[in-house]
């Protein structure tokens, strides 16, 4: 992004800082090296959640446009939240109930802590991996995901998770910095009963929308 809108700058200031997140990540790695019998907390050792990925940042900036002329969603899910930019942006824009989830419990901890420090009672953070276990608080009228399409081996689990948690009248918006995404994604979505559409938004970035037919 060439320019971050002022309202989004306010959101970015609310997020847990990258420096703090990287310090937590480093500490957990150091503890793991000292105690190799203790498994790493999270879905992968090369965790990337401290970094603000470009697709999520562009989708966050685009949310006011995407949400205009429609009622605010009753219940919003930030799927693979990382530092929580989409969830915090949704709260800032007036969404009343926002759930941030990530497969790395360290990310969930810092997001939950930041929300509590800022008095954001609308936001809840939960540790969750893409599987068939339903999240509490669902279904969700809006599911947001930034930069969560880059590992094709998880596409099936991702689509199943969206199908499990999307409300009957809901939509999922997934942002990716690439203008071309994997061709199997619409096929997997259809196998899960979901309707897929792909749009190039200013930035540019890909906005993939999923809904029920």
- Here the CATH number for the domain that contains residue 158 is 3.40.50.150
Closest CA to 122 of 133, 137, 106, 132: 137
**pLDDT for position 133:** 82
The model carries a pTM of: 0.91
Q: Residue 104 pLDDT > 70, yes or no?
A: yes
- Does residue 41 sit within a domain? no
**pLDDT for position 181:** 97
| Tens digits of residue pLDDT in 12-55 | 999 988 888 888 888 877 666 433 333 334 444 557 888 899 99
Average pLDDT (94-103) is: 96
Q: List the single range of 72-76, 130-134, 174-178 with lowest mean pLDDT.
A: 130-134
Average pLDDT (104-128) is: 95
- Does residue 187 sit within a domain? yes
| DSSP-based three-state secondary structure for 105 | helix
Phi, psi at residue 90, to the nearest 5°? -60, -40
- Does residue 38 sit within a domain? no
| Tens digits of residue pLDDT in 173-197 | 999 999 999 999 999 999 999 999 9
- Does residue 35 sit within a domain? no
- Does residue 39 sit within a domain? no
- Does residue 1 sit within a domain? no
| DSSP-based three-state secondary structure for 3 | coil
Q: Residue 209 pLDDT > 60, yes or no?
A: yes
Average pLDDT (69-86) is: 95
- Does residue 133 sit within a domain? yes
């Amino acid at each position: 992004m060439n320019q971050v809108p002022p309202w989004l700058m306010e959101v970015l200031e609310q997020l847990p800082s990258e420096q703090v997140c990287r310090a937590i990540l480093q500490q957990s790695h150091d503890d793991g090296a000292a105690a190799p019998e203790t498994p790493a907390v999270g879905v992968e050792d090369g965790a990337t959640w401290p970094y603000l990925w470009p697709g999520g940042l562009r989708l966050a900036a685009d949310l006011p446009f995407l949400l205009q002329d429609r009622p605010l969603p009753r219940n919003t899910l930030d799927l693979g939240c990382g530092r929580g930019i989409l969830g915090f942006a949704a709260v800032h824009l007036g969404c009343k109930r926002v759930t941030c989830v990530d497969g790395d419990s360290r990310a969930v901890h810092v997001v939950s802590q930041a929300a509590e420090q800022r008095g954001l009672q609308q936001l809840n953070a939960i540790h969750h991996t893409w599987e068939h276990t339903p999240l509490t608080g669902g279904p969700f009228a809006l599911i947001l995901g930034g930069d969560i399409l880059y590992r094709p081996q998880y596409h099936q689990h991702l689509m199943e998770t969206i199908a499990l948690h999307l409300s009957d009248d809901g939509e999922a918006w997934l942002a990716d910095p690439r203008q071309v995404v994997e061709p199997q994604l619409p096929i997997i979505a259809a196998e899960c009963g979901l309707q897929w559409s792909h749009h190039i938004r200013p930035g540019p970035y890909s906005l993939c929308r999923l809904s029920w037919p």
